[in-house]
């Protein structure tokens, strides 16, 4: 059945690629007795220009977390230098293909569940929720993604989520459920962990109403000094940037608003990575021009990193501020719903209902064999 479904999906992909070569038109296209509408043919947007900047910023923050996870915070990319295999595996997670775990396709599709149509602009909190869900399907990177709620980080909940109890091999591999999404096809897994699961902590914040409140500026800048910092997502209305640091009263940021061509992996699994790295110096903007809706990011590979982060927050942010940017509490608030660590949803299906019948599948195959002549 898996091979049959794979062949069926290949035919759908071929159809999408084939129709994308036609000019946009309201008129129907007729092929072998069947009518196709180019504007509603399932091909979707061919570019993320005008709507994908916050998704790209989310990818950048996550990519930085994965670099810290596998290569270390001190690792630096050097042009034309041979890179370790982990580096290329990280890049392959972000390729613009629907079968890559953190591709813009997967992020946009996951955003539908957050109330965002494909092609609609995301805010920082929506991107954080999307990354949290996608990470559940990524067993190789094995991240625990915690997105704070109501400006509150709960230490107890994070430690409950990050500590993985040992599991028997029968429990780890006993499931026979089949997940047909591309999210579940990562065959290069590391298995089930026993110990601390590396933490990606995202804190969505509202630092004012229409403009950032100056009382938050010092605490906001302090976050970039922390060794666990992954920067911040934010920008201006409908214009997202990835903020990585500051200089005086200016924020330093990376700008995703340069449309680039699609890059795929080579036959040997490597990726032409020139466009994945900064081709020019980072930009700067005055901190008071920042939109008040932001999301802070932090990465804690070990439990001691998280404990150190908590100490820094208490010392540098909470004790210094009369109006706190966010709260850090030890225990789960009693008036909140119980905290349940998120787990990957299982689909109890063989996938047979994805096609009407195998006869339908072979009709598609015959149709495309004629087209390819």
**What token pair was written down for 248?**
């005086």
Q: Which of 37, 173, 211, 257 is catalytic?
A: 257
Distance CA 1, CA 33 (A): 28
CB count, 10 Å around CB of 262? 10
| 137 in Cβ contact with 183 (< 8 Å) | yes
Q: Which of 53, 68, 100, 223 is catalytic?
A: 53
Let me know if 53 is a catalytic residue.
yes
Let me know if 255 is a catalytic residue.
yes
Distance CA 153, CA 329 (A): 6
Closest CA to 127 of 119, 116, 141, 137: 116
Pairing of strands 152-154, 327-329: parallel
> What are phi and psi for residue 198, nearest 5 degrees?
-50, 135
Q: Which of 48, 138, 157, 255 is catalytic?
A: 255
Share in percent of the chain as helix, strand, coil (round to 5): 35, 20, 45
Give the DSSP letter string of 237-292: TTEEEEEEEEETTEEEEE---S------B-TTS-B--GGGS-SSPPEEEEGGGS-S
Pairing of strands 293-300, 199-206: antiparallel
Closest CA to 8 of 350, 264, 347, 363: 363
**What token pair was written down for 369?**
């064999």
Residues recognised as catalytic: 53, 255, 257
């Amino acid at each position: 059945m898996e091979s049959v479904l794979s062949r069926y999906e290949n035919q759908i992909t071929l159809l999408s690629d084939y129709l994308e070569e036609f000019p946009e038109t309201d008129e129907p296209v007729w092929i072998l007795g069947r009518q196709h509408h180019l504007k509603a043919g399932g091909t979707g947007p061919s570019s993320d220009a005008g709507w994908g900047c916050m998704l790209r910023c989310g990818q950048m923050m996550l990519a930085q977390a994965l670099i810290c996870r596998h290569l270390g915070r001190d690792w630096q990319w050097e042009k034309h230098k041979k890179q370790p295999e982990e580096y290329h595996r990280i890049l392959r997670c972000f390729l613009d293909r629907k079968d890559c775990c953190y591709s813009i396709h997967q992020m946009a599709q996951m955003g539908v569940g957050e109330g965002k149509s494909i092609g609609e602009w995301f805010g920082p909190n929506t991107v954080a929720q999307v990354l949290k869900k996608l990470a559940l399907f990524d067993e190789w990177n094995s991240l625990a993604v915690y997105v704070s709620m109501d400006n509150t980080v709960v230490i107890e909940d994070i430690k409950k989520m990050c500590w993985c109890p040992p599991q028997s091999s029968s429990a780890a591999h006993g499931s026979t459920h089949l997940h047909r999404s591309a999210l579940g096809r990562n065959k290069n897994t590391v298995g089930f962990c026993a110990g601390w699961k590396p933490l990606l902590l995202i804190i969505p914040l509202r630092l004012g109403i229409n403009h950032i409140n100056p009382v938050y500026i010092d605490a906001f800048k302090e976050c970039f000094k922390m060794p666990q910092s992954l920067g911040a997502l934010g920008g201006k209305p409908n214009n997202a940037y990835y903020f990585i640091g500051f200089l005086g009263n200016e924020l330093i940021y990376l700008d995703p608003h340069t449309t680039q061509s699609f890059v795929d992996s080579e036959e040997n699994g490597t990726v032409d990575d020139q466009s994945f790295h900064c081709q020019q110096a980072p930009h700067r903007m005055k901190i008071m021009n920042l939109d008040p809706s932001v999301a802070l990011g932090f990465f804690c590979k070990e439990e001691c990193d998280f404990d150190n982060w908590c100490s820094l927050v208490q010392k540098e942010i909470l004790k210094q501020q009369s109006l706190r940017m966010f709260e850090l509490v030890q225990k789960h608030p009693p008036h909140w719903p119980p905290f349940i660590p998120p787990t990957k949803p299982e689909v109890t299906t063989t996938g047979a209902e994805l096609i009407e019948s195998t006869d339908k599948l072979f009709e598609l195959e015959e149709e495309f064999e004629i087209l390819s002549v």
